[in-house]
Amino acid sequence: MNVRLLLPLILFSYYSPAQNKYGLHATTLNEYEASIKTNPEKELVELKNVIPGMVLDIRYATKNNFTRAKVYHLARAYARKPVAEALKKAQADFNQLGYGIKIYDAYRPYSATIKFFEMMKGDTTYVASPYKGSKHNRGCALDMTIIDLKTKEELKMPTQYDSPVKESWPSTPVEDPVIRKNRETLIAVMERNGFRVYEAEWWHFDFIGWEKFEVMNIDFEELEKK
């Protein structure tokens, strides 16, 4: 082949937009489908189908989030099967206290993590690094709060969801006894059921055992078509 023709092809391949510039391979739909055939525990399940009474408030399917834009086209909450099972147990514990679960976000496609990282100009305090991917990308993290079962109102917490301030850290002291108790209850129940709160976000819980699951870049639309 003529070298002058070959060089542009090489450059196009090297700089192809499809190539991940952060060097991380994220599982595709086909790879995901193959993985659940050998390990059913890796299945992504839609949380509303397995946790009765759970409320969804998927902020990234609206403009009511820190990006001020719709990130998802569909308002969905998926998680790996063991994550969903653990959350169902937590829901039962909350129900005994008169509370229920509200989910802001669960499984998050890897492409969204890249977008958040670039918007935050590389600050990984409140967003994940695309060099490693997030627990959300693995289907093993939940953004959530609790609601009063009678009024359906959210319990008061130290900050609003997605607030990038130190007051959102679970370790930050809270003077208001009601807010302090609400945060303590949320964290205690979730940690008793196999989750760990993230150090900079009272609403973010990682499933213990997330390391077993791969980073995925599968849109909700793809999951619904399979």
Pairing relationship of beta strands 55-56 and 195-198 according to DSSP bridges: unpaired
- 55, 102 contact by CB (below 8 A): yes
- 42, 34 contact by CB (below 8 A): no
Ranges assigned E (strand) in the chain: 44-46, 55-56, 78-80, 99-105, 141-148, 195-198, 201-207
Q: What is the pLDDT of residue 4?
A: 41
pLDDT in tens, 55-96: 999 999 999 998 999 999 999 999 999 999 999 999 999 999
Between 5-14, 37-46, 166-175, the lowest mean confidence (pLDDT) is in 5-14
Question: Domains in the chain, please, with CATH?
Answer: 22-225 (3.30.1380.10)
In this prediction, residue 226 has a pLDDT band, given cuts at 50, 70 and 90, of low
Q: What is the pLDDT of residue 225?
A: 80
- 87, 142 contact by CB (below 8 A): yes
Query: What share of the chain in percent tops pLDDT 70?
Result: 91
Q: What is the pLDDT of residue 12?
A: 31
pLDDT in tens, 200-209: 999 999 999 9
Query: What share of the chain in percent tops pLDDT 90?
Result: 84
CA distance 19 to 222: 20
pLDDT in tens, 94-131: 999 999 999 999 999 999 999 999 988 888 888 899 99
Q: Is 70 exceeded by the pLDDT of residue 181? A: yes
Q: What is the pLDDT of residue 20?
A: 77
Q: What is the pLDDT of residue 125?
A: 87
Report the greatest alpha carbon distance in the chain: 75
What are the structure tokens assigned to 62, written together?
Answer: 């609206």
Q: What is the pLDDT of residue 124?
A: 84
DSSP per-residue codes, 8-73? HHHHHHHT-TTS-TT--PPB-HHHHHHHHHH-GGG-EEEGGGTSTT-EE--GGGSS-STTSS---S
Distance of CA 178 to the CA centre of its chain: 27
